[in-house]
């Protein structure tokens, strides 16, 4: 039995402001075993707060940091580790930040499991259904229609045949303003390009229904995150009448929340962000989706570990829609995991090596790691 020797929290920071294509911050967890195996995972939330969840002292059962209850445990027991972490954090929040920190540890443990078995992680999760996926690139909207058209042309020039556009100014003006944005995208990108619209939580149910009907006239592929994350009744109403595919889930930090969207008939496609719920819980969501005939997609806005983990999970899920890829520059992602994910022939490839498939570039890790409240 190879036991966990150390669990390290590594906040990351880069220069610049928050942008449309990724954040200037990040958070990694490194797990090391007694036999010298290392696994890496990431979480998507406030790095300093995540660090506290990982490194906090064990005060009593139900109020402990994660490392304190993991050291000495069997590194291959991913399900047992998840339960131990859940039990240890009952009194510091059953969802949200604690679950996101747990997700990073969980991804790292699956990385170790792949290395120990000499197999890709997807081989440990189930039967491989896909070797790769058609992908879409994520893009913001400009402050004007002309700027939006320029952004759309740039995304298409990257090789994308599908793209997601949204957030401000969508939803901040009139119905005519929103239609002008969608019409500009279709005119710029042409009839063969799959357009996905991210509502950015901007609408109430009635406005979302009206926007979905408008989007159908322009052949929009899906309408994402139109409503507030917990508005199950609104999503159920929207999905019943929408002529456009409805997707949501990226804001969820627990399997229970995502399964609730599925079982209440809220979505046609469920978004799974593994940097928020982890691989172990992602499997539960995928099983619930299969039972209800709901397709799965990844939500990948952060670093290379989220993308790699998502490729492994999606590889064993029968029904997957387009795979999200970040194609615009991000200083952390590009330096830490250059060349990932692998894009070839219009598809993103599932890693086949004996692990998760991504390791941090040492010089970049040293450059961006935050020590004692500031960069190295």
**Rounded Cα distance, 209 and 179, in Å:** 13
For residue 339, pLDDT over 90 is answered with no
For residue 255, pLDDT over 90 is answered with yes
For residue 54, pLDDT over 60 is answered with yes
pLDDT tens readout for residues 262-308: 999 999 999 999 999 999 999 999 999 999 999 999 999 889 999 99
Specify whether the CB–CB gap between 323 and 314 falls below 8 A: yes
For residue 374, pLDDT over 90 is answered with no
Whether the upstream peptide bond of residue 341 has omega within 30° of 0, thus cis, is yes
CATH class of segment(s) 4-118+362-375: alpha beta
Give the model's confidence band at 23: pLDDT under 50 very low, under 70 low, under 90 confident, else very high.
Answer: low
pLDDT tens readout for residues 76-120: 999 999 999 999 999 988 788 999 999 999 999 999 999 999 999
Mean pLDDT of 145-154: 97
Give the model's confidence band at 345: pLDDT under 50 very low, under 70 low, under 90 confident, else very high.
Answer: confident
CATH number for the domain running over 124-349: 3.20.20.120
**Which residues, 6+ apart, have CB-to-CB distance to 302 below 8 Å?**
22, 23, 26, 42, 44, 275, 333
Mean pLDDT of 308-331: 94
55 vs 18 pLDDT, higher one:
55
Give the model's confidence band at 17: pLDDT under 50 very low, under 70 low, under 90 confident, else very high.
Answer: low
The ranges assigned to domains in the chain are 4-118+362-375, 124-349
Specify whether the CB–CB gap between 28 and 85 falls below 8 A: no
Average pLDDT, rounded, for the chain: 94
Mean pLDDT of 10-20: 78
User: Three-class SS of residue 239?
Assistant: helix
**Which residues, 6+ apart, have CB-to-CB distance to 261 below 8 Å?**
232, 235, 248, 249, 252, 267, 270
DSSP state of 131: S
**Rounded Cα distance, 45 and 252, in Å:** 12
């Amino acid at each position: 039995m190879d036991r966990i020797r150390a669990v390290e929290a590594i906040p990351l920071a880069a220069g610049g402001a928050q942008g449309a294509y990724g954040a200037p911050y990040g958070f990694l967890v490194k797990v090391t075993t007694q036999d010298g195996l290392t696994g890496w995972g990431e979480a998507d939330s406030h790095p300093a707060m995540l660090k506290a969840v990982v490194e906090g002292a064990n005060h009593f059962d139900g109020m402990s940091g994660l490392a304190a209850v993991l050291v000495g445990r069997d590194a291959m027991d991913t399900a047992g580790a998840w339960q131990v972490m859940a039990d240890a954090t009952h009194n510091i929040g059953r969802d949200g930040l604690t679950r996101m920190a747990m997700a990073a540890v969980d991804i790292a443990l699956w990385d170790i499991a792949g290395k120990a078995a000499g197999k890709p992680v997807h081989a440990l999760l189930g039967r491989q259904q896909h070797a790769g996926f058609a992908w879409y690139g994520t893009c913001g909207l400009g402050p004007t229609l002309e700027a939006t058209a320029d952004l759309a042309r740039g995304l298409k020039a990257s090789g994308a045949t599908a793209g997601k556009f949204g957030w401000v100014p969508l939803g901040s003006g009139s119905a005519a303003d929103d239609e002008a944005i969608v019409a500009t995208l279709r005119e710029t990108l042409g009839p063969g390009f799959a357009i996905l619209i991210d509502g950015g939580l901007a609408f109430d149910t009635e406005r979302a229904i009206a926007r979905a009907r408008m989007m159908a006239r322009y052949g929009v592929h899906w309408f994402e995150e139109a409503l507030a994350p917990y508005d199950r009744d609104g999503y159920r109403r929207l999905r019943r009448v929408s002529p456009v595919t409805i997707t949501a889930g990226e804001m969820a930090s627990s399997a229970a929340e995502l399964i609730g969207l599925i079982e209440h008939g809220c979505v046609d496609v469920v978004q799974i962000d593994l940097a928020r719920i982890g691989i172990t819980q992602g499997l539960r969501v995928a099983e619930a989706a299969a039972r209800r005939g709901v397709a799965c997609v990844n939500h990948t806005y952060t670093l290379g570990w989220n993308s790699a983990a998502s490729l492994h999970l999606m590889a064993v899920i029968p029904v997957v829609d387009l795979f999200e890829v970040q194609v615009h520059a991000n200083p952390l992602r590009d330096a830490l995991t250059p060349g990932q994910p692998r894009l070839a022939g219009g598809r993103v490839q599932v890693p086949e090596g004996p692990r998760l498939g991504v390791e941090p570039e040492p010089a970049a890790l040293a450059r961006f790691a935050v020590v004692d409240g500031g960069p190295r």
